[in-house]
Structure 1
Amino acid sequence: MTQRNEISNEKELSPEQREELLSVLKVRFEKNMHRHKGLEWDKVHAKLDANPEKLWSLNEMERTDGEPDVVEHDKKKDEYIFYDCSVESPKGRRSVCYDRAGLESRKKHKPENNAMDMAAAMGIELLTEEQYKALQELENFDMKTSSWVQTPSDIRELGGALFCDRRFGHVFLYHNGASSYYGVRGFRGSLRV
């Protein structure tokens, strides 16, 4: 595997990496049935077998400490939806601006990357505010960190970006400049398989 904080350019897993990832995902799936009541691992596994490019994206989520797990099944499209389920914002995706424009607008102390480009390179999407709140209904996340979420274009055009966290027993939505970054702010992603 590549270094934990870099995104791999090769979008295919070796048979060993594939089996290791599937084993990790299966254990996580079975340990956290409250996240996906009524779903069966064998059906998820079959979908993953049929979509090997999605395994690469899941591996990127795992490699950057996102701990992806199934949180939903879209019955109309017959797709399983994975979210990052790490207790805190994924360690391998923190200290990033919201997007490239935010990164390029910084005059000094630029971070190495931005959330939108990283997500695109991984083949995933940032959670929306609604998805973030749905995730928080499953269990408590981001009690010490925060996560960028997809920002509406009208807010982004004015230079802002949105992020969320959980404090004092509530989920909060905040705004900040898209160029800001903090050691405790990263992003959570979703992937449809």
Structure 2
Amino acid sequence: MTKKNKKLSLEQREELLRALKARFEKNMNRHKDLEWDKVQAKLEANPEKLWSLNEMERTGGEPDVVGHDKKKDEYIFFDCSVESPKGRRSVCYDCEALESRKKHKPENNAIDMATSMGIELLTEAQYRMLQKLENFDMKTSNWVQTPTDIRELGGALFCDCRFGHVFVYHNGAESYYAARGFRGSLKV
């Protein structure tokens, strides 16, 4: 996608900012001591990041601010939908995994989808951090960034939350399930 295609219309931008502000104000436990006006100013100064947040929203991720890197002055957004984003489920891990399937290929893969959206898959540490804010993925699971040595052997990692604990599992990277997707992160 070209740079010019990664801009929102004025109407889309205003609609997204309203949704993000409402979510921000409703979930202050996710970002104590942060002010919406400062977040909005950063967003308005970074239209491509706003486009990426819109992609997160469009695919059911319900992005919200979960932190602020003071050294870099960046706000950190994660997908905060209760379950795995609906528009990003039934995908295998990456392109190599997708190409390895001979039958019943999924439509897409998590890594390429995230890249096209301008976001990154959560790491295991980020996933655990998200779960400290509230309980997510009680019925679904999500691919997370997988170490190279595991991926080279054909595997990939995914996480979920059951019984009040985060579980990290492995699966063949080519596998896909209706209840498995991915959550993304974006720094603005």
TM-score by structure 1 length? Answer: 0.95
For 1:1-193, list aligned pairs within 5 A.
Answer: 10-193=5-188
SS in 1 for 2:66: strand
Distance in 1, Cα, partners of 2:145 & 2:14:
32
Deviations 1:122-175 (A, max 9, x none): 000000000000000000000000000000000000000000000111110000
- Measure, in 1, the Cα distance between the counterparts of 2:163 and 2:41: 40
Which secondary structure does the structure 1 equivalent of 2:158 belong to? strand
Report the Cα distance in structure 1 between the residues aligned to 2:165 and 2:103, rounded to whole angstroms.
34
Looking at structure 2, the residues matched to 107 and 162 of structure 1 have their Cα atoms a distance apart, in angstroms, of 22
Q: Which runs of 4+ in 1 moved over 3 A?
A: none
Between Structure 1 and Structure 2, how many residues are aligned? 185
| Distance apart, 1:10 and its partner CA | 2.5
Report the AA paired with residue 124 of structure 1.
I
SS at match of 1:147: strand
Query: In the alignment, residue 85 of structure 2 is paired with which amino acid?
Result: P
> Partner residue of 1:5?
none
Please tell me the residue identity of whatever aligns with 1:19: E
Give the TM-score of the pair, scaled to structure 2. Answer: 0.98
Q: State the AA in 1 paired with 2:95.
A: R
Alignment deviations for residues 32-69 of structure 1 (CA, whole Å, 9 cap, x no partner): 00000000000000000110110000000000000000
Structure 1 unaligned segments of length 5 or more: list them: 1-8
Identity of aligned residues (%): 83
Q: For the aligned residues, what is the CA RMSD?
A: 0.8
Q: How far apart are the structure 2 equivalents of 1:14 and 1:120?
A: 22
- Amino acid paired to 2:153: L
